[in-house]
Amino acid sequence: MVRLMAEDVGILVLGHGSSKPYNKEMVEKCAELIGRSHDGPVKIAFLNMDEPNIAAGLESFAGTGVKTIVALPIFLAHGVHTLEDIPTELSVDPTLRRGSCKLNGSEVEIRCAEPLGVDDSIAALAYQRASEALR
């Protein structure tokens, strides 16, 4: 695993949001686990239903000294949310997947990470879940 060492890089873990409370708990736990590998602040936000919303999630970095925020969608694949809705909420160019916002009067760069996608670790986890189903 590549470790982001920069303390001035924040990670905004993005969930879809749900009326079910375990969805928010899952995103919170995922952010906590990501935080174990990252020296900078890790915050959460949701596209809809749950709080904080994306604007509040960005604002939660105020006072942290971050110069860059990586918006990390906990989504498996690209869709309308990752390609349109999230970039719009972040005021990020959807093609470049980059933009900026003002925090404490300073310009902060925002970069959108790709969804989780196809990866050996995702396949291994999927296989583990299939194995668990047979127990």
Total tally of structural domains belonging to the chain? 1
Position 3 in a domain: no
Position 47 in a domain: yes
Structural domain containing residue 78:
9-133
> For the whole model, what pTM was predicted?
0.92
Residue owning tokens 């959108």: 112
The CATH number of the domain holding residue 62 is 3.40.50.1400
- pLDDT tens, residue order, the chain (135 aa): 555 558 899 999 999 999 999 999 999 999 999 999 999 999 999 999 999 999 999 999 999 999 999 999 999 999 999 999 999 999 999 999 999 999 989 999 999 999 999 999 999 999 999 999 999
Position 25 in a domain: yes
- pLDDT at residue 3, rounded to an integer: 55
Q: 68-73 and 9-15: which strand pairing?
A: parallel
Position 2 in a domain: no
Position 56 in a domain: yes
Cα distance between residue 90 and residue 132, in whole Å = 38
- pLDDT at residue 2, rounded to an integer: 53
Is 16 tagged catalytic?
yes
Name the active-site residue from 16, 38, 78, 81. Answer: 16
Cα distance between residue 61 and residue 96, in whole Å = 22
